[in-house]
Amino acid sequence: MVIAFIPARRGSKSIPLKNIKSFCGKPLLYWNIVALQNCKYVNKIIVATDSEEINKVVQDFHCDKVNIYNRSAENAIDTASTESVMLEYLYQANLQKNDIFMLVQATSPLTETTHFNEALKIYKQHKYDSILTCVRNYRFFWNKDGTSKNYDYRNRPRRQSFKGELMENGAFYINTVGNILKNKNRLFGKIGIYEMPEYTANEIDEPDDWTVLENLMYKYVLSKQHKKEIKLVLSDVDGVLTDCGMYYSENGDELKKFNTRDGMGFQLLREKGIKTGIITSENTKIVENRAKKLQVDHVVQGKQNSGKLIAVKKICKQEGLLLENVAYIGDDINCFELLSNVGLAACPSDAIKEIKSIPNIMVLSKNGGDGVFRELANYLLQIVSI
């Protein structure tokens, strides 16, 4: 049996409630849990936490491999080691000594299912007693006495011919239950190295790390997941292109506030040859006028729930596209069915909980009416150019 173990305590001085803070639209813990859930070798995922809030967030992921372990307060303080909570769990878990135990760090969210699969496959070949993850570092290092550590400064190598050094990135460690109980350490004996891509070098520890790793996540991980041929981008209106507010003049005229930056998002997509459209349950002249101003290719009003999906299927047939070629951004329950079927689903940060719970939905950082469509457009333009 393979057990993946994720320590996730409540306390964090530099980033409060770090483990469930939104990272690329999902709680930080989500990324490793889903990658492990999809790993064919992993049988059980243990999240060791002292927080009811973290417990609830993890249960909302609905991953059937996940079990919560309520770690002791003693092993959740700042000075407690990771080994201490691992051993606390192992002393009471009644596992077999030859069970494989994989320590996984939530602070390395760029770890993908393929990394877990490959490393476990190597470990199952019985060449090593334990395995750790590293990245290859191409920096030149020096000693305090002015002597170079890992190269000859008189013959400075080019990067292309410099082998670099392996640096521990802290993503995950593989060992057996018996080895850990005997040696009280995550590593033991003949240690193997699983080399990960250079972009996985950093862990999240400080606020600046968060910004850097989110950018890397979008570039190297999410771009692969979303890099379907998105040829049509559709948007809801209320709660996406507007702030969900309804304004009335003294004469009783209904008004809506739109964000001009969203308008530029539509234009930039159009310039890249990506078609756009509006799908909404509204049926107003205001939407018609805004759609005309935006020069969208398709406008469908007065459709709710399955009606939206049916309308988009008709558009796809007309354009010769598949649903996987469509990106849609919506915020409320009447968008649920369409968001659950398109190639790329997205929502504003203030979308309702049911929408945010759609598997693999991209939760953007901006609220509806605050330029969230432009945020989606920028992301799509980035991955199209990769």
Catalytic residues: 156
Burial (CB count <10 Å: 0-12, 13-18, 19+), residue 110: buried
- In DSSP notation, 90-114 reads HHHH---TTSEEEEE-TT-TT--HH
| CA distances (Å), origin 325, targets 58, 135, 234, 276, 344 | 31, 35, 11, 12, 8
Nearest by Cα to 241 from 371, 378, 376: 371
| CA distances (Å), origin 27, targets 234, 323, 386 | 26, 27, 26
d(CA 383, CA 386): 5
| CA distances (Å), origin 175, targets 118, 132, 191 | 15, 9, 9
d(CA 200, CA 255): 48
Residue whose pair of structure tokens reads 């999809």 in the numeric block: 38
Nearest by Cα to 236 from 273, 173, 191, 291: 291
Contact criterion met (CB below 8 Å) for 326 and 232: yes
- Kind of pairing, strands 298-300 and 247-248? unpaired
- Kind of pairing, strands 66-70 and 100-104? unpaired
d(CA 5, CA 29): 12
Cβ atoms within 10 A of the Cβ of 131, count?
22
- What are the structure tokens assigned to 23, written together? 């990272």
- Kind of pairing, strands 191-195 and 298-300? unpaired
